[in-house]
A and B are shown apart, each in its own frame.
Chain A
Amino acid sequence: MQHALTERILLDREASLRPTGEWRRLAPKNSAMVFNIQHYSLHDGPGIRTIVFLKGCPLRCPWCSNPESQRFGPEVSYVADKCIASMGCDRCALACPSAVHRVDGDAGVNDSATISLDRDVLDQLDLNAITRFAKACPSKAITLEGRPMQIDEILDIVERDEVFFDRSGGGLTVSGGEPLAHRTFLTNLLAGAHERGITTAIETCGYAPYASLASAAEHLDYVLFDIKSMDSAVHREWTGYSNERILDNFTRLCADHPELPKLVRTPIIPGFNDSLEDIEAIVDFLHGLGGREANITYQPLHYHRFGEGKYHALDRDYPMGDIKLDDALFNEIRDMVLASGLAADALYKDSD
């Protein structure tokens, strides 16, 4: 990975952590930024689950398939294919004239007109203004990523799926971004779910003070924990932080909560960790923590670039380009994991 990219990642992380604009002040008390609530989620814990995606992440993995999750503040996506500027729509420009540049089509022909957004202007808008701006779009070409929600408001929505949870053993999964970045809110959300009889899980990159993980774990039935690489320098170069804290957190979690089911996952990324040795190192680490005894299962995830369109919608470049993961290598890794005794249920085919 080029040094320049690492620098860009770090700059972006800095920018996102600084509370620009007024969104923090205007968000209601005891709320967190939610950018999606996804029903019928099948790959994010046991059973049929409902995922609440909280906004903001300390890491900047270039392969991230949810780039809209990375920054803490609200932002807008713009999908040009859905835009009807060419059909006479100018509602976004009316809502915030300085944020929208109209790009007219050839030779005054209006039917190929499109727009571009001024991100610097949008970044300065307060929460109400950016919400109004996104809402002005009739065709959902512009959508708001992130709106503040309170715990009961979230749980009222999640609870509607309870009939599916009851049958499937599913429940609430809090994902992100990084859920542990919202420590108090997360703990209260998980506790609130338990009060309503809803089982809980989180999807975490593991990068947080251990206290955040420890307080969440008191109210967790399942953890999906990412361990991306055992190589600290490589980890730092690609994600912005080294892996010591992550590995330490996981080690302590296993010691403090041996009974808690932990699914460790690794996205297999070309150039980053795409070798049998890299993944074997992770498997060895997990065995060292007790493996099945500590209720650990493991799943490598095939790299995909389905998030690419979302980068463009945020006016960002897709950092990974069109690189692909070698399928034969992934199958080799899968076979190794199956043989390790730690393989997660999700790795098995009907024919296995």
Chain B
Amino acid sequence: MALTIKSGEGFPKLLNDEDVVPLLLSKGAKFDEALDYSVSGCAECRMPNRDTYTSPNAYINFAAALEMVMYNGRMLKYGDEVLGLETGEFEDFQSFDDLFAAFLRQQNNLLKHAFIQQHEIIRLRAEHFATPLGSMLQKLCRESCIDLHQPKIPGGIDLGYLEYMGFATVIDSLAAIKKLVFEEHVISLHELKEACEHDFEGYEVIRQLLRNAPAYGNDDPYADEIGKILDRTAQEFTAKYSEQIGVHMDIRLVPFTSHVPFGKVVSATPDGRRAFTPLSDGSSAAQGADHEGPTAILLSNYLTKNFDHNEHAGRLLNIKLSPGCVAGREGTEKLVEFIETWRDLKLWHVQFNVMNNETLREAQKHPELYRNLIVRIAGYSAFFTELSKDLQDELISRNEQEAF
């Protein structure tokens, strides 16, 4: 498997029984059913003949919730329309705790509306949808003579989920505010808001300060502790309301490519992200925010998970590796060891993108997208995109020499 990953095709994706199986058991599956899950879609794990979840899920833009904290329930793109809760003027927050509490209120408010919406979807689906062929193929539906679109199927397990969009964008923004505004007093909330309103045009100093604040993906407890609270708060909400209103939605971090369109409605954020650019992707670090390498990415992922809650679904994680990290027999062994550690950490999914020379050429052309690509050579380290063009070329020719 490691040799296949090394070939640089981006396959296979790995799913982790250590996370998936206990979760399915906790949802009521029998041991054999849990072990017999199959992978569906990007990174979902479903149990044939037990899993009855079919409806489209909610994608919630939590970077928008952050914007609503900044503009008292409003978003720049939508003018004066109140979209969220009016949590007060941004400049008036006296402590990070107050500001964080306001964010969590906005987060819960979006969750609430998603649950109401989902409740209606489930009701309408049962009234208007039918899938006779699909239902005939499903053992539980067949036994009870009931359509798969009905909300309650005897013996069924509902593995519905909602999508937490912009996980790292939110964490990094809150961490930057905590550090720069409330701890180091380098900038004020007023200055921060002004810079974001202007999409950092003329505010490059502030943008750079924000970009270099503690960020998710670096095994930095400063940022990861915020992420863990976000995850826990969302899971507690879903635990509380799932049964009450008959909607089951666990917290998932698998955005496909939707972090791009979702970013198009969110103006500049306090992590230094420019207006209407993509949000962070799944459980990956924000674009260019991780600088400590792949072990730190795994640890941040691990440390933002609440293993004592079971209202979670998949977490998608993509890791880019430069060829030098996996070169030779030793490289193969160390890739295996890295995967084994990923398994030990009980993370849901991982997929490796081992850069070949073609993709390294792409990285030369678009350095912004490849800022986290580390180069590993004995006794020396650097980021690929920080080498001069000349040296990048040399590295690429070395790969031809050394890899595999």
Contacts and interface: CB of A to CB of B under 8 A. Distances in A.
A binds B: yes
16 contacts: A39-B219, A39-B293, A40-B293, A40-B295, A42-B325, A43-B379, A44-B379, A139-B212, A167-B337, A168-B337, A306-B375, A307-B380, A309-B388, A348-B328, A348-B329, A349-B404
A265 B378 contact: yes
Given A163-B341, A308-B391, A350-B404, A42 B334 contact: yes
Interface in A283-331: 301-302, 304-309, 327
Interface stretch (B120-128, B138-146, B393-401): B393-401
A138 B209 contact: yes
A65 B402 CA distance: 19
A224 to B, nearest CB: 8
A168 B334 contact: yes
Contacts of A166: 341, 344
A175 interface: yes
Contact of B334 (A38, A48, A66, A138): A48
B204 A88 contact: yes
Nearest to A351: B404
Given A39-B293, A44-B379, A309-B386, 17 more contacts: A43-B376, A43-B378, A47-B334, A48-B337, A48-B341, A66-B379, A89-B205, A163-B299, A265-B378, A304-B380, A307-B380, A308-B391, A345-B329, A345-B330, A346-B328, A346-B330, A350-B3
B82 interface: no
Interface string A71-109: 000000001000010011101000000000000000000
Interface-central residue, A40, A160, A168, by most chain B CB under 10 Å: A40
B76 interface: no
B294 interface: yes
Nearest to B180: A138
Contact of B382 (A167, A306, A351): A306
A185 interface: no
A40 B293 CA distance: 6
A210 interface: no
A203 B337 CA distance: 22
Contacts of A352: 329
Nearest to B6: A350
Interface string B8-25: 000000000000000000
B350 to A, nearest CB: 14
A159 to B, nearest CB: 12
Interface string A30-71: 000000101111111001100000000000000001100000
A166 B340 CA distance: 10
A66 B206 CA distance: 31
Contact of B401 (A40, A47, A327): A327
Interface of A: 36, 38-44, 47-48, 65-66, 79, 84, 87-89, 91, 138-140, 160-161, 163-164, 166-170, 175, 203, 265, 301-302, 304-309, 327, 345-352
Q: Which 3 A-B pairs have the closest CB atoms?
A: A168-B337, A139-B208, A138-B208
Contacts of B388: 308-309
Nearest to A91: B205
Contacts of B327: 349
Contact of A38 (B381, B394, B398, B401): B381
Contacts of B386: 79, 309
Nearest to B337: A168
Interface in B328-384: 328-332, 334, 337-338, 340-341, 344-345, 374-382
B376 A306 contact: no
B194 interface: no
Interface residues of B, number: 50
B265 interface: no
Contacts of B404: 349-351
Given A305-B391, A352-B329, A43 B341 contact: no
Contacts of B341: 48, 163-164, 166-168
A29 B241 CA distance: 55
B292 interface: yes
B336 to A, nearest CB: 9
A48 B382 contact: no
B263 to A, nearest CB: 23
A167 B294 CA distance: 15
Interface in B182-213: 202, 204-206, 208-209, 211-212
Interface-central residue, A36, A65, A89, A349, by most chain B CB under 10 Å: A349
Nearest to A137: B208
A169 B336 CA distance: 12
A69 to B, nearest CB: 9
Contact of B394 (A66, A167, A169, A305): A305
Nearest to B381: A38
B83 interface: no
A108 to B, nearest CB: 19
Contact of A42 (B340, B345, B376, B398): B376
B344 A306 contact: no
B379 A39 contact: no
B296 interface: yes
Contacts of A302: 398, 401-402
Given A88-B205, A304-B398, A350 B332 contact: yes
B204 A89 contact: yes
Contacts of B330: 42, 345-346, 348
B387 interface: yes
Contacts of A44: 378-379
Contacts of B331: 42
Given A167-B344, A168-B341, A309 B391 contact: yes
A89 to B, nearest CB: 5
A138 B272 CA distance: 12
A140 B292 CA distance: 15
A38 B291 CA distance: 10
A44 B394 CA distance: 22
Contacts of A48: 295, 334, 337-338, 341
Contacts of B292: 39
B93 to A, nearest CB: 23
Interface-central residue, A44, A66, A306, by most chain B CB under 10 Å: A306
Contacts of A350: 3, 6, 328-329, 332, 404
B380 A66 contact: yes
A161 B386 CA distance: 26
Given A138-B212, A304-B377, A160 B299 contact: yes
Given A306-B395, A327-B401, A160 B328 contact: no
A231 to B, nearest CB: 22
B58 to A, nearest CB: 34
B177 to A, nearest CB: 16
A216 to B, nearest CB: 18
Given A48-B337, A305-B391, A43 B295 contact: no
